[in-house]
Amino acid sequence: MRFADAWVSDAFWLAATVAAYVAARALYRRRPVWWLSPLLVAPTLLLGLALGARVGYGDYFHATHWLMLALGPATVAFALPIYEHRTVIRRNWPVLIIGVAAGSAIAMTSAWGLSSLFGLSESLRLSLLPRSMSMPFALIVAGDIGGVPDLTAVFVVVTAVVGVAMGEVLLKWLPLKSALARGSLFGMGAHGAGVAKATEIGGEEGSIAGLVMILSGVANVLAAPLVVFLLR
Amino acid sequence: MNRLHLFSVLRTAVQRSRAAQVALLAGLWLAGNFATRAIGLPFPGAIVGLGLMLLLLGSGFVRPASVRRGARFLIGEMLLFFVPAVLAVMDHAEWLGPLGLKLFATVLLGTLLVMLGTAFAVDLSYRWWVRHAVR
């Protein structure tokens, strides 16, 4: 299928993206299993469509990139959960700081260590570093430290899907006494999808997971210059 | 109609409209970007916007109800906003081979370490905290 008019083609891909998202979300509502996560299904549908129509990533991205502008206001929106859970923060701040610091340090060093072990290229290693952060923060950090944000986006999604599946198994085996530990496991390990999973387990786990995800994202964006310095 | 009344009418309108709330959050994002560029702040505009929003909520100038629906929408539908970046996979057919396995192994093992490390760090420090703070 070929469109003579670039504008029509842009509108088509934009509509297809929204449609794939809505369809993936509806499917997950009917069958909420981790491998039918909209994180996997929506990109897969679009991938099939784009490959079938022989459209390159450049053209697809050109048509839809402005959807990503909404990630800016979405980041601002994270102020609300922080504010609404201010008593949780006040009560548990030392533990939250330790969790965020330990989690972020392990996320970065494990990504760097493992990718070096496997002999991956520098641009892949840098793009893997922010994979445990929530998407808007990960994209900012990837750009700051010299990674490729588009590649980071892929790794962030894989981390979320893998993390939710793994977190469920870990929770059965680990002797975790506190909702604080169960929540931060998901918030740090599987960001947005992990927060959704933690919310299914319990309200307290869900708010802790959300807080850990947001606080670690903000902390990592602020610490990005330090990471750049350490990598030199 | 005095100014106070006008303000409360405006507030009620914002509390009812999700679009107005999204516009408010977008406005703060733009303000954050502007501040970053104008003053040369070392943080990205979105983070400055988040800080501004937190200040507005903390000072009571903006009530949570005035942004709740907009914030839930932006956070809840976030996948739609970043799905264009994820389609970058289509340019990486080479990931179908051993390279893809290495990338997957890095993410898998790394995430295992992050989850174990974070959960244990938090659980241990929480127990320590409980034992020492509440006797």
DSSP string covering A174-217: S----HHHHHHHHHHHHHHHHHHHHHHH-HHHHHHHHHHHHHHH
**Same domain for B58 and B117:** no
The yes-or-no verdict on residue A165 having pLDDT over 60 is yes
Residue B79 to residue A38, Cβ atoms within 8 A: yes
Q: Is the CB of residue A90 less than 8 Å away from at least one CB of chain B?
A: no
CA distance B91 to chain A (A): 6
By the 8 A CB rule, do A26 and A8 touch?
no
CB-based contacts of A230, cutoff 8 Å, min separation 6 = none
**Same domain for B35 and B78:** yes
ipTM score assigned to the predicted complex: 0.92
**Same domain for B54 and B6:** yes
**Same domain for B57 and B8:** yes
**Same domain for B69 and B14:** yes
Residue A57 to residue B90, Cβ atoms within 8 A: yes
Residue A182 to residue B119, Cβ atoms within 8 A: yes
Residue A72 to residue B122, Cβ atoms within 8 A: no
pLDDT tens profile B18-67: 999 999 999 999 999 999 999 988 889 999 999 999 999 999 999 999 99
By the 8 A CB rule, do A145 and A227 touch?
yes
Mean pLDDT score of chain A: 93
pLDDT tens profile A60-85: 999 999 999 999 999 999 999 999 99
Q: Looking at chain A from residue 157 to 186, which residues have their Cβ under 8 Å from any Cβ of chain B?
A: 157-159, 162-163, 166-167, 170, 174, 176-178, 180-182, 184-186
Contacting residues of B for A67, CB less than 8 Å apart: 80-81, 83-84
The span from the CA of B108 to the CA of B116, in Å, is 12
**Same domain for B115 and B68:** no
**Same domain for B62 and B15:** yes
Q: Is the CB of residue A28 less than 8 Å away from at least one CB of chain B?
A: no
Number of structural domains chain B divides into: 2
Residue B110 to residue A114, Cβ atoms within 8 A: yes
**Same domain for B66 and B12:** yes
Nearest alpha carbon to residue A35 among A160, A187, A196, A183: A160
Structure tokens at A59: 């053209």
**CB A69: neighbour CB atoms within 10 A?**
12
The DSSP call for residue B94 is G
pLDDT tens profile A7-63: 888 999 999 999 999 999 999 999 998 889 999 999 999 999 999 999 999 999 999
CA distance B99 to chain A (A): 8
Nearest alpha carbon to residue A43 among B69, B4, B49, B88: B88
**CB A173: neighbour CB atoms within 10 A?**
7
Q: Is the CB of residue A89 less than 8 Å away from at least one CB of chain B?
A: no
Nearest by CB: A73 against B26, B105, B110: B26
CA distance B1 to chain A (A): 32
**Same domain for B69 and B100:** no
**Same domain for B112 and B73:** no
Residue A6 — very low, low, confident or very high, per pLDDT cuts 50/70/90?
confident
pLDDT tens profile B67-113: 999 999 999 999 999 999 999 999 998 899 999 999 999 999 999 99
The yes-or-no verdict on residue A170 having pLDDT over 70 is yes
The span from the CA of B78 to the CA of A70, in Å, is 8
The DSSP call for residue B1 is -
Confidence (pLDDT) at B134: 59
Nearest alpha carbon to residue B121 among A165, A113, A107, A88: A107
The yes-or-no verdict on residue B2 having pLDDT over 80 is no
Residue range(s) defining the domain that contains residue B117: 92-135
**Same domain for B22 and B76:** yes
**Same domain for B44 and B29:** yes
